[in-house]
Structures are given as structure tokens and as C-alpha cells.
Amino acid sequence: MARSPAVQLAPNVWRIPTVGRAAVNSYAFVDDDGSVTLVDCGLKKAPARIVAGLAAIGKTPADVTRILLTHAHPDHAGGAAEMVRRTGAPLVVHGADMSYAETGQAPEPDQSLFAGRLFSRLPRGKFPAVQVAEPLADGDLLDVGGGLRVVHTPGHSPGHVSLLHEPTRVLITGDALFNVAGIRWPVWFFCSDFRMTQETAHVLGELEYDVAAFTHGPQISDRPREQVRRFLSRLR
């Protein structure tokens, strides 16, 4: 089956795969005026696929009026500088990840873990630095398609956020959770604080949503909240 350049999750909400069919995803929200908010920009080579995804929904880079990053890792921010250049749109990220986005340097991995200490001796994930227009904060309600709620879920990075689109009840988990051969934790040695990742992810089981969308893996539309809560309950 051919990879689709854009997958509709709800009215005016689209998943744009930038690696494979769903290995790495960006998202597009289309407002009533036709403007687009882009969430995450994939790896450095992702802009071509993002532009193709926009074209598939009848949009161009000129329609993008805001770019939002769930966090400042190379597989989410790698294409951000190029997408800012192509669109002229302002970019926003949680305040705790601003310095990483603006220096193009991912946060240090978890030093409480041996693999994290070992990994930190290697060159950390780098990506083209990108200017941040303004910081996001937990609880912000962005004027995106009727309301996009910022949910701070730190641990994978200090400023990692998940996003709840309240009108369509689509939840973007970011890297708080993966859906790769089932729901699972992100790769632990890429996390800034893996235990915090596990702790803060529990808020995702308390929100109300009809679609769980992941930046790694396909969406879940069949009782997603129950599936997320079942996975999270294993930790307890």
C-alpha cells in the first residue's frame, strides 16, 4: 500500500507522515479562514514531505501562519528552520525548550541511567537552529481551529508538550507515548528524565479525547482513552 501524503483524523485535522507511513509524523490544523497551523517539522529532510502533505489537502507553505513544536529534538525540530524560511510563519515551543531550539542542540539525556550517561559522551542530536517567536506554557489555549490546549508533559524533554484540540477531541501525545507495535514508552535513553516521562504521561489518561495521535506511530480511534489508560496502569 502506498504511503498517503496526508491522513485526515477529524474535520480540518491532518496527520502528515514524514518518515514511512507513520514512523515520524507532523500535523496540520486548518482554520475556517484557510490558514494552517503546523505541528512538528520532522527531521532535516522532512520539509519536502510536509509540503507534499500540504498540497494533498489543497494548501501551500504560504497558508501556514504558525508552527508549533512539541519539543526540541532533531526528529521534530530538524526541518523547522527550513519550514520557517518557506512559510515566514512564527515558531512557538514551550519555554523550557526554547534555548534548545534556538541553539539547535537537543537536551542532555537522562544522567541517572547508565545508557544516558554513555549516550551523553557522544555528540548530542543537533539540528538547524531556529528562532522562537514566543514561549508556550502549560494550559495555554491557542486560537487554532476553535482551541488547541497546551498540556505540559515534561520528561522526554524539559519543555515537552502534548496538545488537545478541544473542538475535534484529537489528542497529539508528542513523544510522551509512542504507538509503534502498540502503545509504549519513548526510547528511554533519549529522554531528559525518563521517570518524569512516566509520571507526567498519566495526565493523558485523564483528558477527554476521541482520537489519540502520536508523533511516532499511527493514530488510535477505537476507544483511545481506554487504551492509553490501560497502558499507563501497568506502571502502577
Would the pTM count as exceeding 0.75? yes
Residue 131 lies in a domain: yes
The per-residue pLDDT of the chain, averaged, comes to 93
Residue 70: per-residue pLDDT: 98
Residue numbers of the domain that contains 56: 7-233
For residue 41, the domain's CATH number is 3.60.15.10
Residue 2 lies in a domain: no
Q: Give the chain as a DSSP string.
A: -PPPS-EEEETTEEEEEEETTTTEEEEEEE-TTS-EEEE---STTTHHHHHHHHHHTT--GGGEEEEE-S---HHHHTTHHHHHHHH---EEEEGGGHHHHHHTBPPPP-TTSHHHHHHHTSPPPB------SEEE-TT-EE-STT-EEEEE-TTSSTT-EEEEETTTTEEE-TTSSEESSSEEPPPGGGSS-HHHHHHHGGGGGTS--SEEE-SSS--B-SSHHHHHHHHHHTT-
| Better-predicted residue by pLDDT, 119 or 161 | 161
Give 24-72 pLDDT, tens digit per residue: 999 999 999 999 999 999 999 999 999 999 999 999 999 999 999 999 9
Give 114-149 pLDDT, tens digit per residue: 444 444 444 457 999 999 999 999 999 999 999 999
